[in-house]
Each structure stands twice: as structure tokens, then as C-alpha cells.
Homo-oligomer: A and B are copies of this chain.
């Protein structure tokens, strides 16, 4: 039973966000810890939680992760390109250090869960959350359940059609024309010579960016049939992207999908609603659910 405090660990490649909250998802305290080596970084995180005397912890982490509860490497960060973090037993280490129930999922599933539990997507059962930043991540909820399947969706690498006039070679070392390669933050920077946040007046940048993101929207609608799509991450801070993405999504679909959701596309493709705390709040939900399962 949750007595008082729950912990949230949002594990990212550059920083860890640790927070403590109550069972209603209110944040009581929050700190940032730089991501260095696993041992050093996680010791700092665990010390923080030990001091706060939490009853359960939710971890949402960069991946890829092993989420299969029956696997020998359940709870691990697996084949990440992040040096030193390959096959880090995140859940095992946390469990040993803190001795509390631990919920675990991907960073994007965490953000999705935050929005569905505590944000504007409350009440929806089928939601997709994209994060466009250094990489492109996706979290998927279907029928109220986070989708894992074989491992977890990695839709950032879906295939996209290059625009006729786009000669960019793509930023992904695996794929010639994938969403992350053509539309991640580093792709914008490499193509236009500056970071996206310095290009906000350059409408040609956002025209092209929205051309690729809209393709992801179309494929998402057709393959997952979500009731809502939430777009987060650094790239989406460029708010002028939203109307462009919506317009191009409708144009690509070309009337094929006729639902009330699609006809109200301004309420269908939306920004995150929790001001950057969606990941932390999703961790709270993972923590709460872990207690439910542990009881």
C-alpha cells in the first residue's frame, strides 16, 4: 500500500530527472542529475530516493529496453549506442538499492502514460505519443494498455518518402529514408547549418519538416487508428509546425478516413499538455501500477 511518497526516474542520455510525488501525481520535489557513467549516475539517483523514503519507483528510460518480464535481461537498457550504458541492469540495480516495487517502461511510453493519466488525454484508450528531438521516439497505447509486443515500437525509423526537391542524404546510419534520418533535430541542423531553435522564422524549414512528420501521422492513423496523437520533444517547441502538420496530414489522407476525430484535426494532433512534466508524471503512474501488481 502506498503510504506517502512515490518516486519518478526519467532516464535520459544527457540527464536524469528524479522526482518525488504524491499518489495524485503532484510533484513535491524534482532534481536533475547529469548522465555520466551508469554507476556514478545511478548512485546519485538512488541516494536521492533513499533520502526521500519512497514507497515505489517508476522508471521511464531511453532504450532500447528489455520489457519482457519473463526475460533474463528484463529491466535492462540493451543495445544502446550510448557509451558505457549497453546492458545496464537498471531495474535490478534500483531494486537492490531501494527495495521497493519498480515500474519500468520506455521514455516515450512514460510521457504517453503521463498525458493519459494526468493530462489532456485522460479518458482515451488509444493514443500515440511522438517525441521529435535528438531522435524520434514513439509510445503507443492500445485499448488502455501500453504496446510492447516483440520489444516496443521503434516507429522513429519508419520509411518516409523524400520530397522531390530534397537531396539530403539523411542522418540515420541504418536507413536511407527513415523518419528520424530525415526529420530529427540533428537532421534539421545538418541540412540547414543551424539548430532548429535558431531557424524559427525560416518557413521553408518547417514546410519540409512538416512534410515528413505528416507522413508519420498518416502511417500512424492507418496502422494504429489512435483516438489522439500527441507530439512532444524539442523540435515541437516550434509551434508553427502544428498547423502545417495537420494540413499535410489531411492532404495525404485525402478523405480516405472519415471519422469525427479526423474531421476535428486541431483536437486530434496536439502538443503535450503537462509542460515538460509528462515523463515524470508517467513515472508516477508506473510506480503506482507496480504497487498494484506487487500487492
Contacts and interface: CB of A to CB of B under 8 A. Distances in A.
Interface of A: 78-79, 125-126, 138, 140, 142-143, 145, 147-161, 174-175, 177, 215, 218-227, 252-259, 261-262
Contacts of A177: 161
A252 to B, nearest CB: 7
B252 A175 contact: yes
A42 to B, nearest CB: 24
Nearest to A260: B150
B159 A227 contact: no
B256 A157 contact: yes
22 contacts: A126-B148, A142-B145, A142-B149, A143-B143, A143-B145, A143-B148, A148-B225, A149-B225, A149-B226, A150-B227, A150-B259, A150-B262, A151-B225, A153-B222, A154-B225, A155-B223, A158-B219, A159-B160, A159-B215, A159-B218, A159-B219, A219-B223
A258 B13 CA distance: 21
A150 B175 contact: no
B219 A150 contact: no
Nearest to A147: B142
B223 A153 contact: yes
